[in-house]
Chain A
Amino acid sequence: MTGQFQPAPPGHVPPGLVVDFDFFHVPEGVTDPTQIWHDLARRNTPPIFYTPRNGGHWVFLNYSDIAEAYRNHEIFSTHQAPIPPMEPFPVLQPNGVDPPAHNVFRLLLAPMFTPLAVRKLTEGLRHRADRLIADFAARGECDFIADYAAKFPTSTFLELFGLPEARLPEFLRISKIFFRGTEPAARAANLAEIFAVLEELFREKARNPGNDIASAILATPDANGQQHAWHDILNCGFLLFVAGLDTVTNTMAYVWRYLAATTAARAHFRARLDDPAAFLLAIEELMRINAVSNIYRRVTHDCEFRGIHMKKNDRVVLPNTMANRDAKVFERPGEIDLTRKVNNHLTFGVGPHRCIGSHLAKREIMISLQEWLRHIPDFELADEQESAAAFGGPVMGFESLKLVWPAKT
């Protein structure tokens, strides 16, 4: 995935704004991939710079510029924005379309992801979390990522789509290749497989509709009263697959690693198991500090942004982790304060493409932590950790997290 080094950046980029920075590359021994971003700030990198790596792209480091890029879809488009450029890439519905066309699928999905709708999923999700944790709770140890963080968001996807837990291994396998695969032929085959699974899933739901998102997408007519185009329906299913699995997995990995290493934080959450508002406030701070997504945009036309000339089709990376530590916006930005009162983090973006799944994601993490603490009130990092790779790219994380707690005999 890395490479494609272009020795000469394009002519419109001032030499003073060129920095050799590969956000897919995490040096050996670095266990927290967000560090490669925070190192940039320590090196006084310009707040808007251009790197020739990964096909060449801009990077915005300040909260205000990142927020403006999210809001200004007339310059910064989500359409066909992958880095490095990957074509053809499915037009994600609705995320890969800008307003006003964006509104069609956004409005279709919106009622299924409101706080009200997500609250109705709570009991089903709690049950799935409980069963996953009960599987290993007595054992006294687990690999948090393989045993829980990879499984639960995928299980949530199955819940949303009305699919049985028995299909979990199949979905775990295809999502693992999608998110971690680097070999182009395998990635292309994997993309085809994902679409074949979605095709079969939607055909089955068309024959036997249920009380699930796939059935609702099929049943919602377009502006002309017709069913939406089949490829849009599949792409919408694909977005839900892409957006909700890896992001939640890796956010949970960060959160549990922090908790395992921080006695006071575990106690903080344990003491608030019966106070959902305070529990959620603390989760919000962990959302700020553990922002794993680096978001892509494509420049729609030649223009000036903050006095810098940008050309049509230039790519832009928006690292939420940098926005969320901006000292102009956050008091004590590097400090984790589980009672932080003002917390306008950008983990879920802002503006028209604000993460539609934010309420579900927070609910997944909250339910997971509540169920976890009921089964496993205290836990720590295992002495022996695998020297597993940390990875950069659009979603940052690491591949293994060994936890230990008193086993039940």
Chain B
Amino acid sequence: MKVHVKLAVCQGHARCEDLCPEVFSTDAIEGKCVINQPEFPPELEEKVRLAVRNCPEGALRITTGAAP
């Protein structure tokens, strides 16, 4: 499984980084989402899903197949 961010939609709330710092961080310029490991291991799935559900802008998506 893979997690994607739409940077045009991300406004730098950084909830993803708070909730799953293993996968998400934020950049030093605008504080927008940086995905450190897009293909995350299964043991992080629950945390990644929580990060996705907590994005106030709906900027994150999980895909199971190829990138959209």
Contacts and interface: CB of A to CB of B under 8 A. Distances in A.
Nearest to A347: B56
The majority secondary structure among interface residues of chain B is loop
Contacts of B57: 350-351
Interface stretch (A112-120, A161-169, A241-249, A380-388): A112-120
A358 B27 CA distance: 16
A114 B10 CA distance: 13
B53 A116 contact: no
B30 A348 contact: no
B9 to A, nearest CB: 10
A354 B50 contact: no
Contacts, number: 59
Interface residues of A, number: 25
A351 B11 contact: yes
B11 A352 contact: yes
Contact of A114 (B12, B53, B55, B56): B12
Contact of B11 (A115, A346, A354): A354
Interface string B6-29: 000001111001110000001111
B31 A359 contact: yes
Query: Which 6 A-B pairs rank lowest in CB-CB distance, beginning with the nearest?
Result: A114-B31, A354-B11, A110-B30, A344-B56, A115-B14, A342-B53
Interface of B: 11-14, 17-19, 26-31, 50, 53-57
Given A113-B31, A114-B28, A350-B56, 12 more contacts: A110-B12, A110-B29, A110-B30, A111-B30, A114-B12, A115-B17, A115-B31, A116-B27, A117-B28, A341-B50, A350-B13, A354-B12
